[in-house]
Homo-oligomer: A and B are copies of this chain.
């Protein structure tokens, strides 16, 4: 039986999980898959700290060349951060004939085209199950389990940090900054949580899922992204009254030749299964033409859940090495349409909207705002006007009230024009809060 040798580059939280599984569950993996997998080398910049799963001296690589030039290493597991360093590493490893397993969503979303093209040239495999939704085997489901479907829509909660924050705002009435602080204390948010909070991380992940599902690469810089930094508990409460739960949703829909991809705070009907995904959990809803709606739920981060996904890729690649097969074993290859995807422009988004204006408490304002909506062909589904007097910081003495309008499906372009007109006419004394609503009619 051929042994398959693996090297890990980047030995942090996930790396230690992978190391531990490979070392301690070797027998289980062999029993199940018939392949013997050895962790031969590990590289990290700094060995001078304690590791949850320590690596003995002989297996510590002094430099990357020790891995790249070792002909017996079959698979390089890339678990570093950033983009440039892992990009160079992966390209070099592919050039040396090594298969790749990576958990790096930023790299794949931003430079995936180069990396997958290179792998195709070399007939080598790139495993990236761990790059999206941690331990949930969603990549495999899209590539294989749902192969008999034209994917119509994928949407989901792909970032645990923001879901933790929104859950504690919804359930415990915390403010955004209180909830973020608590998430940091519990280790669910990083010291610098920017890429989670501003939606970039979820956008990386939905780009990868889109490329795979819709068969071509996404130009990441064109993806529409909005974070949760400005979310006010007031909107969470008003949305709840309307029957909605607020989530940071990543959404990709295919229509005709275009793919509409967007990441933003979204109101979902409270009885949608995703509305009930709380805390750090992730969940992805996939709609296929044959299967209908399916949902995949689990831990989207953490040492062992993510390592579970990394090791499933290692086993799959090890199996193909044992059988002397390369990339051709993959059931759905990335870029199977062999073209880039056209993204829908923001002005052409077409969805429902929750809009909260801050209006002076005087007669006739609702009529004026409603007439602007009518002018732009926007149909109103529900209105909430509260008697409660809000004390806004900038005009503490003026009597103002929140006015919420829930629209039927409308175009983003019309919404933006209507809002511009409403603000210019001072019907709303503040820029309104706009939250898109995912609730098909």
Contacts and interface: CB of A to CB of B under 8 A. Distances in A.
Interface of A: 17, 21, 25, 28-29, 31-34, 129, 135-137, 140-141, 144-150, 215, 273, 276-277, 288-299, 302, 304-305, 307-309, 311-312, 315-316, 319, 323, 325, 328-329, 331-333, 336-337
A217 to B, nearest CB: 16
A21 B148 contact: yes
Given A291-B305, A297-B273, A305-B290, A144 B140 contact: yes
A149 B144 CA distance: 20
**A contact face: mostly helix, strand, loop, or mixed:** mixed
Contacts of A307: 148, 290
A297 B295 contact: yes
Contacts of A276: 273, 276
Nearest to A148: B311
Contact of A215 (B31, B289, B311, B331): B31
Given A315-B147, A319-B331, A294 B135 contact: yes
A146 B313 CA distance: 10
Nearest to A325: B323
B148 A308 contact: yes
A272 B291 CA distance: 24
B296 A308 contact: no
In the complex, the 10 A-B pairs of residues with the closest C-beta atoms, listed nearest first: A137-B145, A294-B298, A148-B311, A135-B291, A295-B297, A290-B308, A290-B304, A291-B308, A32-B332, A140-B145
A147 B298 contact: no
Of the candidates A129, A135, A323, A328, the one having the most CB atoms from chain B within 10 angstroms of its own CB is: A135
Given A290-B308, A298-B291, A137 B148 contact: no
A292 B299 contact: yes
Given A298-B293, A299-B292, A29 B148 contact: yes
B292 A295 contact: no
